[in-house]
Structure 1
Amino acid sequence: MFHFPFKYGISLGVFLGATTLTTYLTGHEPMPNPAMQAMSDTTNRPEENRFKKTVLFNDLNEPMELAVAPDGRVFFVERAGKFYMYDPGQKKTRLLHDFPVKAVDKYLNGMLGMTIDPNFRKNHFLYFFYTIQDKDQTRQRIARFRVNDDSTLDLASEKSIIEFPIDLEVSAHTGGSLAWDAHGNLFISTGDNTVPFESNGHAPIDSRSGRLTFDAQRSAGNPNDLRGKILRIHVADDGSYTIPEGNLFPPGTSGTRPEIYVMGCRNPYRISVDPATSIVYWGEIGPDAGTDGVQGPRGYDEFNQARKAGNYGWPYFVGDNKPYFQYDFATKSVGALFDPNAPVNNSPNNTGMKNLPPTQKPMVWYPYNKSDEFPALGVGGRCAMGGPVYHFDPKLASTTKLPAYYDKALFVYDWMRNWVYAIRLDDNQNYQSMEPFMPTTGDFRRPVDMEIGPDGSVYMLEYGSVYGIDNDDARLVKVDFNGGNRAPVAQVTASDTLGSAPLTVAFKGDQSRDFDKGDQLRYEWRFDGKTVGSTVANPSYTFRKNGIYKTILKVSDQLGNASLDTMTIRVGNTLPQVAISVNQNSTFFPATQTPLAYSVSVKDKEDKVIDKKNVKVVLNYIPKVSSEPMMGHQQLTASFNLGKSLIAGSDCKACHQVAAKSVGPAFVDVAKKYRDDKTATARLANKVIVGGGGVWGEHAMSAHPQLSREDAAEMIKYVLSLGTEPTENRLPQQGNIVLKEHVGKAQEGRYMLTASYTDKGEANATTRSKLALMKSDVLMLRPTKVLGSEADELNNMTRQGKRLGNIHNQSYFVLKNIDLKGIDQLTYRYSSKDRDATVEVHTDSPTGPVISTLAYTATGGWNKFVELGTSIQNPGGKHNLYFVFVKADTPNRDLFSLDWLQFGTKTAATAGGREPSTGN
């Protein structure tokens, strides 16, 4: 849930990629398509399936920045100091050096960036941006090294190009990106090195004594400081540098540093320079505020463009030059707004000139919430990164280069939102439009750097799912474009995947597909993973010996392009059969303490005797679940895990883990802290929405204004539920249970009786292990009162909070898997303004047998609810119930609003009269 990280510090065919897979299967790369190479079409968007992402290396820890050499070698670094090279010839990655950098804790500095010299073919120079500790001073250093012919790093060749001190206690805003323009000038991005906390997510301009690191005016707003800037220098052969013409402050200007090209940056974490125009682009990671406040506007991230040197406003402005107020942190008094045309830095911590250049507006800006100007960028956490500009070269002999469609497109990406966009500029380099790049197949895992290689392919470092730890999915990837014939996509399905020998399996491969019309597909089945056993699309095969078989289908087209799909067949055991039976209704629990008589039957084909120790029967009571569709087992599970699902779809997992600390606290620690706090849900839900910090250390949680209060509350409920260690009371296979947990409480809970059996397994000679299998059955009991919003399916009606409305003639809702044993009465709580109609209950379809009919009359107002009962028949067994609204004559729209309905008995129900009730 943090706006992190750097503001503070399949199938085999899909996996390998088209070109790599073709080489793997056929032994040669696909021939270039001359027509595609010469094409220069920037109007027809290529199909997304023409792009393939290949993982080149996936054993990384906090990868930072990469550079691709002219010969295709990929150099990249990790924050802790490791420097790697990927060799495309050998398809291997080597660790070249482990720099002893100052990488503190999980967030602070270290090895931040790298690049290669524009004349790398001749001089073999590499440049690194890293943190050093020299006696009592910590500094950022940009140094140059030479790579030897054998790809080893010549450590003796180190030349320190430029250094500047930083405040190490600030775990924030490092910058660290390096790039070159067409004239051989080196650009260096630096963060403002300022504590962003205690400013309520607004401008950190606290100039009180002793608050140096809380004042970005000392760095980003200071023309005499190299932090919070993009620097531009020209490096000489001997390692010294000169100042190119056109920087923001001419050499000799009092109170300034001549290296500054761009000032007023918060954290320009990734920059790029257009090799054709030398225009600088970068992502600006903005502040945390989710809403406008006393100090000024909410936070925005930005994509910026600098055609010439300029001031981009931080810490006085954000977004499209939205000004902050001059704010006194001592008295909390608010002064005038800062003037973007004539900003003044009056901080006592400013060592440079006070009158600053006028500020420049960004190209794109967006908050946590939906952007009015750029709605396509979505909502959620923000971490903007500026990527490369692509230039299509029709003369480049590459089968994998991006197509001409992306000529002159600027690629940008967001670490938190996991997307990449291509920004289109007009002939004057002004913003024109944007579109997502590989939105459905990219599967980007927090992109942290992106470059175009000499082959025209995209190279990317993906940081991995969680900030500050060794992610399993941190990796180096490559995206290739296939402009010619595409490999088919193999897909295997089977009639069964496990059983006793001999096991006959009917395989199907005819669901494999080819994106190129007219291609003739050929099939090769290797049932044992080695030998071709069939060449038909849908074969059958009998496995006669126990074992685990990796069955592989290879599908080829007439040009030899192919892909693979694999299915595992386990022979030697079959699933047990487990079933729960009860003596009462198997959908609803009664309101009284009624014993539940149950029995669990277990059968297993291979086990002659059922081992009772392996039979597990457990009853759990879930006190409350969300009012979402939940009548069937699957629906209820999804509803109970609503908060978990919302968290999984949000940016929370970037900074939180369930049981381990990341940049934020572990969820279980949060749950334990607030275990006995009855007000925690409301307070923490509000904090999720508005942001805040101070409880778990210095790192603040960013705002999530896009979340509704209900969704935020569900997320917190899930987190808090993790603090209670589950108590598991094992039950016998049959018995009687007194259901009492719900008595005296609002009937919102569920009883879940789970039975499972793990069999003894069948010995497998191949793996020398037993193929033990487990099967379970679940009985879910819920209250007899069902809220309207808990319907499983709706047709031509809508959920309105906990109710159903907008109900018309032939509208219906569905409750699934309902047992009506012992039930003969339905009671509806409803309102209807002025329409009399009928509600029919059908089994299994809207036109199935009718088992209940309610002829109701209007109540006289939508807020006037009454309760009305009617009889219902038990058809036996479980059925899906369709509640169909019928009014043939007009007007027949807006018939009904359902608050709830209750399943019961006539003896327990009140007489079928009307009991008016008004309001909610």
Structure 2
Amino acid sequence: MLTNWLSYFAGFFFFILCIHGCRDRDSARKTPPETNRFTLVELAKGLDEPMELGFLPDGDILVIERKGAIKRYSQADRAISIVDTLPVFHGLEDGLLGMALDPAFERNRWIYLFYSPDGDNPIQQVSRFTLDGNPLALSDEKKLLEINVQREECCHSAGSLKFGPDGMLFIAVGDNTNPHNQGYYNSIDERPGREYWDAQRTAANTNDLRGKVLRIKPEDDGTYRIPEGNLFPEGTPKTRPEIYAMGCRNPYRIAVDPKTGWLLWGDVGQNTIDDPSRGPISYDEWHLAKEPGFFGWPYFAGPNAPYSDFDYATGINGPFYEAEKPINNSPNNTGLQELPPAKPALIWYSYDESTEFDHLGTGGKSPIAGPVYHRDRYPAAGAAAGRKFPAYYDGKWFIAEWMRDWINVITLNDNGELIHIEPFLPDETFYHPIDLQFGPDGALYVLDYGTNWFAKNVDSRLVRIEYEAGNRKPITSAGADVTAGAAPLTVHFSSEGTFDHDKNDRLTYAWDFGPDIPASSDPNPVVTFEEARVYTVTLQVTDSEGAAASQTLRIQVGNSPPELTLDFEGNRSFYWDNRELDYRLQVTDKEDGSLHSGIDPASVKFYRLYGKADVFAESGAATSAGLELILNSDCRSCHALNEVSVGPSYYSIAQRYTGDSTTVDRLAKTVISGGSGVWGERVMSAHPQLTLEEATEMVNYILSISKVKIEELPLQGKHVFNLHPPEKTEQENYTFKAAYTDKGNAPATPLTTERSWTFRPTQIGAITCDGHSQCDLNAQTRTVRFNRDKAYILFRDIDLTGIQSLTLGADTAQAEGKVEIRMGKPDGELLGQAVVDSDRQITLPLGNRPVIGDIYVIYRNEKVKSAEDEVLYLKWIRFNR
């Protein structure tokens, strides 16, 4: 009897455990994880147009770059090095574009590359190489597939490579067609001599490999065979049996679900302006193909929205194409005329906010297909298991947006139908993510291309995003007061900013300064480095559960950085009309000497700028409505301040249109609608989400850059402040900049010091403050609204030499209270005060105090009860001699 009762309770207890276990697993799949459980680890920076990445069996990472370099990131050495460089043609959008490791790489060491061979023969090529150490065995190249292309006109090369779970190799090929046609609509220009503007000869041509995703089975002898299940059976007249998906424009990045075998890709769309008589507005797309098919281009876009059969010779619209029976009757078509029925995209979107799909954003467009995550493919135990993503993401598809700099996650049902889209780490900053792959450890690896097009960007990088399921690692912050100097060098290290998301964890610190220097467990140690060499200093922080994180610093001993000073008399913050500045630049370096002995004056750069010299420098101040709109838009994806990216520099735009009275309205409308042809054939994306007023603010700000005046100056002389206009509201800063790079002192490398000295006009806008508290800055009205007692704005490092009073330009229609001027901090020394009344200008006597410090303008009014109360609006501050 007792045995029966024990059996009953044991079974009941097991039943309860099962219920709770199932509930826990079900909850883990339904509940998004906290974003602070993800850590972004930067592995490498400064890559030169990275394209795709892949993983070696030992966990090392291969990265290819468009200009031909193949690089390897070593997990053990935490460093990236060049494996080899493939000679490629990298004009237009060509180059080394795709990479895939053979599924049996651990045995055969084979790697497949999609590249544009250097030379006069215009082809794209998929080749197999053997990677068994450095470098590649180039003599062992096996050419699987050649794709005939033209190199006379841009664009669309694609090039992504992916293996499916059955060993089939998918190859993405762009339509190799110039998109810069009339109206920037679908590329169907059939006029003689305009063949390269007709995508019907490529993407819609059943007998051409371009504008497709191909599917082949590589063979051991370096050839390939045609698998069953492609779009056209082998031997079908006027077709290529390699085709799996046709009707692609620029399928830039593809993925294959490793369980279902479904093909997924992002297709970069046209930059059309909305004209219903010709077809839909520009759509970019994400596709999912469970079977082969025709996916629309150049006849359909998005949800199979049709284009008209536009005649470029006559400018007349023909009938709209029919999705059920598309016909390719172009004279440039060498394939079948009747095409398979068109298949719509899974997701489509344009420049403005999508009404069909969530979380896609606005602005320019370039969709990137990332991987589908399957948790059971990754380690269940061991050190690497701690990085793998949680069960919540099991079966979900990761996508990215190259122009909009985000990563999203797509949930699909078992039939491949869209359930919903959600942001992934929306507060994280990405820099044009161009490839995403899950590594063998189950962490997500991201290649950031970087800000500017066709450039080696300092913000290009390889990062790992890892997940911490239980106890989280500490967030480590290591700093030093100096990182370079002569021997002996004393350095004060700091761990300030280090913290742990698990609040009850106790942290221990371990500083490693290299051989022969004692380690330290002090959070903020002080160390003297006696020998001249480069030291690698590592701070490792460990929590009470044993989880650790580290950060490395580089300390260079043996070479002191140069010192630059500008000697002059008088106020160091402001200029007055025709003020004369007798100056002398001093440059000294402990190893190089000075300008009088050892330093060549010609090696020192010294120049003066007047105007918005650092127009896109990050600042906490709301400098202007136009700048704020630019910084919050996608403008920087295509434009830089003084460098050509895919679009012209802001300086070039400002210089071209200075003095044209019709410019502002015309350019503002172009910003909204999009445009082309002025700066070559590149298209500027439309921005329909902007109002005309907002676009006007942006244009006005860009055009103001033309007022910047730059002049190189002698290292000693006299400068007269006379470039500014008489109207105080129009005056800008004068900035003097100096730079010197020393000669180094082996093993220490050369060091550069740059310094600047800025002189402001005596009347400055209130919203140009360096900090504020409990007040609102309005870039549109250029005012600061003080709506709390003790609210303030702050101006840093103000020289009051020769300043007798301050005048505040205010809107005080219903204001009360008083204004205080304090030095150093909000409750610091009181320099002056005045009662607020109906006067629009409030003057506060200061007396001549030759001091330099932070100036606080503080509003005092204990009667303020609500943030909605009418209080003080401040427009400007004038410093009076």
Bin the TM-score by the shorter chain.
Answer: 0.7 to 0.9
Q: What residue identity is the alignment partner of 1:726?
A: E
Partner of 2:681: 698
Correspondence for 2:205 among 213, 222, 226: 222
Partner of 2:400: 413
Q: Cα deviations across residues 859-897 of structure 1 (Å, max 9, x unaligned)?
A: xxxxxxxx7455533365477454648695999956379
Aligned equivalents of 2:714, 2:55: Cα separation in 1 = 59
The yes-or-no answer on 1:452 pairing with 2:438 is yes
Q: Given the superposition, is the C-alpha separation of residues 92 and 291 from structure 1 closer, same or farther in structure 2, using an over 3 Å criterion? A: same
Q: Given the superposition, is the C-alpha separation of residues 145 and 663 from structure 1 closer, same or farther in structure 2, using an over 3 Å criterion? A: same
Partner of 1:523: 509
Q: Report SS of the residue matched to 1:113.
A: strand
Aligned equivalents of 1:368, 1:60: Cα separation in 2 = 29
The yes-or-no answer on 1:716 pairing with 2:702 is yes
Q: What residue identity is the alignment partner of 2:778?
A: R
How far the C-alpha of 1:212 sits from its partner, in A, is 1.0
Alignment of 1:244-393 (within 5 A): 244-245=228-229, 247-249=230-232, 256-289=239-272, 295-374=278-357, 376-393=359-376
Partner of 1:895: 870
Q: What residue identity is the alignment partner of 1:388?
A: P
Q: What residue identity is the alignment partner of 1:872?
A: L
Aligned equivalents of 2:613, 2:147: Cα separation in 1 = 56
The yes-or-no answer on 1:784 pairing with 2:763 is yes
Aligned equivalents of 2:133, 2:862: Cα separation in 1 = 85
User: Would you say the 8 A contact 1:172–1:194 is kept in 2?
Assistant: yes
Correspondence for 1:404 among 368, 372, 391: 391
Q: What residue identity is the alignment partner of 2:781?
A: K
How far the C-alpha of 1:276 sits from its partner, in A, is 1.3
Aligned equivalents of 1:100, 1:624: Cα separation in 2 = 43
How far the C-alpha of 1:286 sits from its partner, in A, is 1.2
Aligned equivalents of 1:377, 1:780: Cα separation in 2 = 44
Correspondence for 2:844 among 844, 860, 872: 872
Which 10-residue stretch deviates more, 147-156 or 386-395?
A: 147-156
Q: Which has the higher contact order (CA 8 A, sep 6+)?
A: 1
How far the C-alpha of 1:799 sits from its partner, in A, is 1.9
Q: Given the superposition, is the C-alpha separation of residues 813 and 678 from structure 1 closer, same or farther in structure 2, using an over 3 Å criterion? A: farther
Partner of 1:728: 713
Q: What residue identity is the alignment partner of 2:610?
A: I
The yes-or-no answer on 1:749 pairing with 2:731 is yes
Aligned equivalents of 2:807, 2:86: Cα separation in 1 = 74
Q: What residue identity is the alignment partner of 1:287?
A: Q
Correspondence for 2:541 among 542, 550, 555: 555
User: Would you say the 8 A contact 1:205–1:214 is kept in 2?
Assistant: yes
Aligned equivalents of 1:99, 1:549: Cα separation in 2 = 35
Aligned equivalents of 2:213, 2:460: Cα separation in 1 = 28
Aligned equivalents of 2:670, 2:856: Cα separation in 1 = 41
Q: Cα deviations across residues 680-708 of structure 1 (Å, max 9, x unaligned)?
A: 67766665554433344433344455563
User: Would you say the 8 A contact 2:664–2:696 is kept in 1?
Assistant: no
Aligned equivalents of 2:211, 2:617: Cα separation in 1 = 50
Q: Cα deviations across residues 332-372 of structure 1 (Å, max 9, x unaligned)?
A: 33455444454443433334444444433322223334434
Q: Given the superposition, is the C-alpha separation of residues 501 and 783 from structure 1 closer, same or farther in structure 2, using an over 3 Å criterion? A: same
How far the C-alpha of 1:176 sits from its partner, in A, is 1.8
Partner of 2:453: 467
Q: Cα deviations across residues 488-507 of structure 1 (Å, max 9, x unaligned)?
A: 44444567889999997765
User: Would you say the 8 A contact 1:140–1:164 is kept in 2?
Assistant: yes
How many residues get paired?
Answer: 835
Q: Report SS of the residue matched to 1:716.
A: helix
With normalisation by structure 1, the TM-score equals: 0.73
Partner of 2:610: 622
Aligned equivalents of 2:596, 2:114: Cα separation in 1 = 63
How far the C-alpha of 1:656 sits from its partner, in A, is 5.7
Q: Report SS of the residue matched to 1:223.
A: coil
How far the C-alpha of 1:408 sits from its partner, in A, is 0.8
Q: Cα deviations across residues 12-35 of structure 1 (Å, max 9, x unaligned)?
A: xxxxxxxxxxxxxxxxxxxxxxx9
How far the C-alpha of 1:197 sits from its partner, in A, is 0.8
Correspondence for 2:179 among 196, 204, 207: 196
Aligned equivalents of 1:269, 1:187: Cα separation in 2 = 13
Aligned equivalents of 1:121, 1:771: Cα separation in 2 = 44
User: What residue ranges of structure 1 are gaps of 5+ in the alignment?
Assistant: 1-34, 857-866, 909-920
Correspondence for 1:842 among 811, 815, 820: 820
Aligned equivalents of 1:546, 1:73: Cα separation in 2 = 33
How far the C-alpha of 1:389 sits from its partner, in A, is 1.1
Aligned equivalents of 1:529, 1:718: Cα separation in 2 = 55
User: Would you say the 8 A contact 1:187–1:233 is kept in 2?
Assistant: yes
Which 10-residue stretch deviates more, 422-431 or 528-537?
A: 528-537
Aligned equivalents of 2:440, 2:484: Cα separation in 1 = 48
Aligned equivalents of 1:344, 1:511: Cα separation in 2 = 64
User: Would you say the 8 A contact 2:492–2:524 is kept in 1?
Assistant: yes
Alignment of 1:666-705 (within 5 A): 687=670, 689-705=672-688
Q: Cα deviations across residues 371-421 of structure 1 (Å, max 9, x unaligned)?
A: 344453333432212122121117654532333332112122233334333
The Cα RMSD (Å) is 5.4
Alignment of 1:410-559 (within 5 A): 410-439=397-426, 444-471=430-457, 478-483=464-469, 487-492=473-478, 508-509=494-495, 512-516=498-502, 519-525=505-511, 530-532=516-518, 534-539=520-525, 552-557=538-543, 559=546
Aligned equivalents of 2:193, 2:111: Cα separation in 1 = 40
How far the C-alpha of 1:650 sits from its partner, in A, is 6.2
Q: Cα deviations across residues 234-274 of structure 1 (Å, max 9, x unaligned)?
A: 456663423523x4445666655444332221111111111
Partner of 1:158: 142
Q: Cα deviations across residues 816-848 of structure 1 (Å, max 9, x unaligned)?
A: 36759666685757485xxx4436322238897
Alignment of 1:766-781 (within 5 A): 778=757, 780-781=759-760
Q: What residue identity is the alignment partner of 2:816?
A: T
Q: Cα deviations across residues 266-312 of structure 1 (Å, max 9, x unaligned)?
A: 11111111121121110111122466676443323222111223332
User: Would you say the 8 A contact 2:654–2:702 is kept in 1?
Assistant: no
Q: Cα deviations across residues 720-760 of structure 1 (Å, max 9, x unaligned)?
A: 467x542436555xx8x76543354564113537598999x
Q: Given the superposition, is the C-alpha separation of residues 408 and 578 from structure 1 closer, same or farther in structure 2, using an over 3 Å criterion? A: same
Q: Cα deviations across residues 18-72 of structure 1 (Å, max 9, x unaligned)?
A: xxxxxxxxxxxxxxxxx9xx97832454455655556667685444334435565
Alignment of 1:30-69 (within 5 A): 41-48=28-35, 51=38, 61-68=48-55
Q: Report SS of the residue matched to 2:676.
A: coil
Aligned equivalents of 1:346, 1:684: Cα separation in 2 = 39
With normalisation by structure 2, the TM-score equals: 0.76
Q: Given the superposition, is the C-alpha separation of residues 552 and 248 from structure 1 closer, same or farther in structure 2, using an over 3 Å criterion? A: closer
Q: Given the superposition, is the C-alpha separation of residues 272 and 709 from structure 1 closer, same or farther in structure 2, using an over 3 Å criterion? A: same
Aligned equivalents of 2:84, 2:570: Cα separation in 1 = 70
Alignment of 1:23-34 (within 5 A): none
Partner of 1:851: 833
Q: What residue identity is the alignment partner of 1:359?
A: A
Q: Report SS of the residue matched to 2:845.
A: coil
Aligned equivalents of 2:416, 2:104: Cα separation in 1 = 27
